């Protein structure tokens, strides 16, 4: 207690291993989305299978996201999407026994936080935490203040992993990626920063990663797209970790399950001394 007020809980991102290897759990279309076809039981089975494959390969954590729901809502996801995500996250957390993140596409950080709080998630990924970006869903505005206030009330230990110049978007409020990273970390209070390529599967620019690292040296820094076994070594000379998805699937097809052989090959390249 300081001056009669309770100090907020300090999150320690140093608990994560280096390098931090996070796998993506791309969900099939959920109920209510344009391409929904599988029953929820099959959706859960798909997610649990991917989670167990990532655990077997030795990944440190995974992120569950409603990737199959495209085209996405710009801000608030539907209540049935929130419910479906919560069911999947709870099942994945139970089956995988590893840290689980939540990304409620396109940018419903409050829903992601609520899902994490209810289903045992450890962190949320927020595509646009601060500023304004032009996206394929239209203009999206970050809501860092609302998210941080809600986190303090309902899930103070859930970490915020925030994209800087997120893919499939153009940042209007701060075009300079280094300054955008500074604002995301210090004004938006992100616990970790993610730098991606222009679209899904495209690599992050190594020079941009280096600029973000120099500008924000005290935050966890992750490369968020396009990392392969061939490039992961160079990426990890700059970043603290990576988030990978498409390179773990045959032909980069995000609709397919994660392939254990591909996951093992990635792990061997990322941690050659431990394999």
Got the DSSP string for 189-222?
--SEEEE--SSTTPPPPHHHHHHHHHH-TTSEEE
pLDDT tens digits for range 23-80: 999 999 999 999 999 899 999 999 999 999 999 999 999 999 999 999 999 889 999 9
Length of the chain in terms of residues written: 275
Q: What is the pLDDT of residue 14?
A: 77
User: Domain 17-269 carries which CATH code?
Assistant: 3.20.20.390
Tokens of 16: 């994560």
Q: What is the pLDDT of residue 12?
A: 73
Residues 45 and 88: their CA atoms lie apart, in Å, by 9
Give me the residue spans of the domains in the chain: 17-269
- Those residues of the chain that have pLDDT short of 50 are 1-9
Strands 123-126 and 100-103: parallel
Residues 268 and 275: their CA atoms lie apart, in Å, by 6
Q: What is the pLDDT of residue 7?
A: 42
The 8-class DSSP code of residue 186 comes to: I
CA-to-CA dists, residue 132 to 36, 42, 142, 173, angstroms = 30, 37, 6, 5
CA-to-CA dists, residue 42 to 47, 147, 207, angstroms = 9, 32, 41
Helix axes 40-57, 79-96, angle to 10 degrees: 40
Contact 192, 218 (CB under 8 A): no
Q: What is the pLDDT of residue 141?
A: 95
Q: What is the pLDDT of residue 75?
A: 85
Q: What is the pLDDT of residue 111?
A: 98
Q: What is the pLDDT of residue 157?
A: 95
């Amino acid at each position: 207690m300081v001056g009669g007020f309770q100090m907020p809980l300090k999150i320690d991102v140093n608990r994560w291993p280096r390098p931090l290897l996070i796998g993506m759990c791309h969900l099939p279309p959920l109920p209510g989305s344009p391409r929904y076809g599988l029953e929820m039981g099959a959706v859960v089975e798909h997610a649990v299978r991917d989670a167990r494959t990532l655990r077997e390969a030795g990944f440190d954590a995974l992120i569950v996201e409603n990737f199959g729901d495209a085209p996405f809502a710009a801000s608030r996801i539907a209540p049935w999407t929130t419910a479906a995500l919560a069911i999947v996250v709870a099942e994945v957390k139970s089956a995988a026994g590893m840290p689980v993140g939540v990304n409620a596409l396109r940018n419903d950080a409050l829903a992601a936080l609520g899902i994490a709080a209810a289903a045992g998630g450890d962190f949320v990924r927020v595509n646009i935490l601060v500023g304004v970006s032009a996206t394929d869903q239209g203009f999206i505005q970050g809501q860092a203040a609302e998210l941080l206030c809600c986190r303090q009330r309902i899930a103070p230990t859930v970490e915020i992993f925030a994209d800087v110049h997120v893919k499939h978007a153009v940042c209007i409020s701060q075009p300079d990626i280094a300054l955008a990273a500074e604002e995301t970390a210090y004004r938006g209070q992100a616990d970790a920063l993610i730098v991606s390529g222009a679209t899904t599967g495209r690599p992050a620019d190594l020079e941009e990663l280096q600029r973000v690292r120099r500008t924000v040296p005290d935050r966890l820094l992750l490369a968020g797209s396009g990392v392969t076994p061939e490039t992961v070594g160079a990426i990890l000379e700059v970043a603290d970790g990576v988030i990978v998805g498409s390179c773990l699937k045959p032909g980069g097809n995000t609709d397919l399950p994660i392939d254990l052989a591909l996951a093992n090959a990635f792990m061997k390249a990322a941690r050659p001394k431990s394999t």
